Amino acid sequence: MPALHATSRRSPARRLAAAARWLTTPLLPEDYLGLVNPLWSTAELRGRIERVRHEAPGAATLEIRPGPDWAGHLPGQWLKIGVDIDGVRHWRTFSLSSPPRPDGRLAITVKTNPEGVVSRHLVENARPGTIVRLEPADGDFVLPQDPAARGLLFLTAGSGITPVMAMLRHLAAQGEMPDTVLIHSARTPDEVIFGAELRELAARFENLTLIERHTAGQGRLKLAELAGLCPDWAGRDAWACGPAGLLDEAEAHWAAADAAGRLRTERFRPVLAGAGGEGGRVRFTQSDVEVDADGATPLLEAGEDAGALLPSGCRMGICYSCVGRLRAGQVRDLRTGEVHGEEGHLVQTCVSAAAGPVEIEL
């Protein structure tokens, strides 16, 4: 991603921090300063939830003040946010719904989904004052250099409107709306996230055409209808964001019109590489070893049998010498039978077996 502003490593503040480390070793100065303001952290980027706004049934916008190291974002990008729920850190990806703002705050808009522990927690329990962890904004679902060049088309459904909202707000804030068509699907008018604001924008900017599709009454949008709604669709710069089904159809539709290069898609939930199962292909990324392991063999043993030199200790789950960072997939705890794991989790390889394909940084 583009570096929006770089912080000099030789700035006086950083030199002071380096000197202060002599006083705080083995900890960092920020570990103590954090007692005063938890946002003063360079080791991990943090933010404070400052406002929670209800948007639509099951959807809420969280306004977050990021710490001073936040490098900014481009409208349409997403970020990873780490939230502690019942004592445990969970990381999820959300699109930013705000354009860069003068007050430095950023906003994400979250819609609950039935199995979503994190989204439900954020919508129902997030309170101002809560500290969250952030990762820098990323993603290339963004506006081109010259948005007005070919006209814009946004095809969205449900919470897929969030990154597009950031772009529309950005364009509106600049005061110049290029020729833009937004086709958005939601079950009912009430369930349109940002409904009131979208309608207000469409009324304010003649150039912005808002087409709402209320699927409870009108049925799901078929791409065959697209030409009727927006005749020059294939010539526009297009963005699609929503459920996987819609995106698959859109990609096929644009490809068939030989316009695949004009379409950008944003998938909220990437295809999960291993949602359970017994055993699977295990890849030790640092050792560059791959092996098929069954559901009863610890990853450690499977790797060693395949010739990987892995850290190990007690081999019974007590000493934590063998932990490795999970890059993909899930594992089964052989002591409890519990299947767990998300990207970035540290797992004990001596008591964990593959539950489906696994990639681990060892």
Partner 1 sequence: MTNTAAHLTPADYEAIGAELDALRDEITADLGERDADYIHKIIKLQRGLEITGRALLMASALPPAWLAGTATLSVAKILENMEIGHNVMHGQWDWMRDPKIHSTTWEWDNVSPAEQWKHSHNFVHHTFTNIVGKDNDVGYGILRVTPEQPWHPANIGQPVYNLLLAMFFEYGVALHDLELEKIRAGTNDPAETKAKLRAIGRKIARQWGKDYLAFPLLSGPQFGTTLAANFTANIVRNLWSNAIIFCGHFPGDVEVFELEEEQMPNETRGEWYVRQLLGSANISGNKLFHLMSGNLSHQIEHHLFPDMPSNRLSEIAPRVRALCEKYDLPYHTGPFSKQITSTWKKIFRYALPGPKVTEPSPMPRAREAKPVAA
Question: Which residues are CB-neighbours of 44 under 8 A, at least 6 positions away?
Answer: 133
CB of 19 to partner 1, least distance (A): 9
> Based on CB atoms, which residue is closest to partner 1, 86 or 146?
86
Dist CA 76 CA 144 (whole Å): 11
Interface mask (CB under 8 A) for partner 1, residues 309-348, using x and -? ----xx-xxxxxx-x-----------xx--------xx--
Q: Where are the alpha helices (H) located in 103-205, listed in sequence order?
A: 117-125, 161-174, 195-204
**Cis check: omega of the bond before 357, within 30 degrees of 0:** no
Could you say whether residue 176 binds partner 1 (CB under 8 A)? no
Residue 250 CB burial class (10 angstroms; 0-12, 13-18, ≥19): buried
Q: Which stretch binds partner 1 (CB under 8 A): 17-25, 153-161, 165-173, 201-209?
A: 17-25
CB of 83 to partner 1, least distance (A): 11
CB of 131 to partner 1, least distance (A): 11
> Based on CB atoms, which residue is closest to partner 1, 44 or 200?
44
Alpha-carbon dihedral 168, 170, 173, 174, rounded to 10 degrees: -110
What DSSP line would sit under 16-42, residue for residue? HHHHHHHHHTTS-HHHHHTTT-TT--S
**What is the SS3 assignment for 187-247?**
CCHHHCCCHHHHHHHHHHCCCEEEEEEEHHHHCCCCHHHHHHHCCCHHHCEEEEEECHHHH
Cβ proximity of 67 and 44 under 8 Å: no
> Based on CB atoms, which residue is closest to partner 1, 202 or 326?
326
Dist CA 160 CA 277 (whole Å): 30
SS3 state of residue 166? helix
> Based on CB atoms, which residue is closest to partner 1, 131 or 223?
131
Interface mask (CB under 8 A) for partner 1, residues 22-51, using x and -? xxxxxx---xx--x-------xx-------
Q: Which stretch binds partner 1 (CB under 8 A): 18-26, 176-184, 260-268, 286-294?
A: 18-26
- How many residues at the interface with partner 1, by CB under 8 A? 30
CB of 49 to partner 1, least distance (A): 17
Dist CA 224 CA 222 (whole Å): 5
By CB under 8 A, what part of segment 56-115 binds partner 1? 84, 86-90
CB of 327 to partner 1, least distance (A): 15
> Based on CB atoms, which residue is closest to partner 1, 86 or 115?
86
Dist CA 194 CA 201 (whole Å): 10
| Chain position carrying tokens 């597009």 | 164
> Based on CB atoms, which residue is closest to partner 1, 31 or 190?
31
> Based on CB atoms, which residue is closest to partner 1, 9 or 22?
22
Could you say whether residue 6 binds partner 1 (CB under 8 A)? no
Cβ proximity of 249 and 332 under 8 Å: no
> Based on CB atoms, which residue is closest to partner 1, 8 or 336?
336
CB of 133 to partner 1, least distance (A): 9
CB of 57 to partner 1, least distance (A): 27
CB of 31 to partner 1, least distance (A): 7
Looking at residue 137, the DSSP 8-state letter turns out to be -
Contact residues: partner 1, CB under 8 A: 22-27, 31-32, 35, 43-44, 84, 86-90, 313-314, 316-321, 323, 335-336, 345-346
